[in-house]
Amino acid sequence: MGIVITAAATAVHTDPATAASVVDLAGRAARSCLDGARVSPSGVGVLVNVGVYREHNTFEPAMSALVQKEVGINLDYLAEPQPAAGFSFDLMNGACGVLSAVQTAQALLATGTTERLLITAADVHPGGDAAADPDYPYADLAGAFLLERAADPDTGFGPVRHYGADRPTDVEGYLDLDTMGAGGRSRITVRRTPGHDTRTGELAAAAVASYAREFGLDLTRTLLIGPQVPLDAALPPGMTGEAHTAAPILGYLRALEGGGAVRPDDHDGILFVTAGAGPSAACVSYRPQGW
- 187-229 pLDDT, tens digit per residue, is 777 778 888 888 888 999 999 999 999 999 999 999 999 887 7
Q: How many domains does the chain have?
A: 1
| CB neighbours of residue 26 within 10 Å | 34
In sequence order, what are the residues at sequence separation of 6 or more whose Cβ sits closer than 8 angstroms to the Cβ of residue 88? 46, 47, 48, 49, 62, 64, 65, 67, 68, 73
* CA 21 – CA 10 distance, rounded (Å): 14
For residues 234-253, give the mean pLDDT: 79
* CA 248 – CA 225 distance, rounded (Å): 7
Specify the pLDDT at position 166: 84
* CA 181 – CA 162 distance, rounded (Å): 38
For residues 135-147, give the mean pLDDT: 90
* CA 79 – CA 76 distance, rounded (Å): 5
Specify the pLDDT at position 226: 86
Give, rounded to a whole angstrom, the gap between the first and last alpha carbons of the chain.
15
Q: Which residues pair with 47 in a beta bridge?
A: 88, 118
Work out the pLDDT band at 106, boundaries 50, 70, 90.
very high
The residue segments making up the domain with residue 183 are 2-287
| CB neighbours of residue 161 within 10 Å | 18
Percent of the chain surpassing pLDDT 70: 86
pLDDT 10s digits, 43-84: 899 999 999 888 777 777 888 999 999 999 887 766 665 656
* CA 84 – CA 108 distance, rounded (Å): 14
Instruction: Tell whether pTM > 0.85.
Output: yes
Q: Three-state SS for 90? A: strand
Percent of the chain surpassing pLDDT 90: 44
Give the CATH number of the domain where residue 75 resides.
3.40.47.10
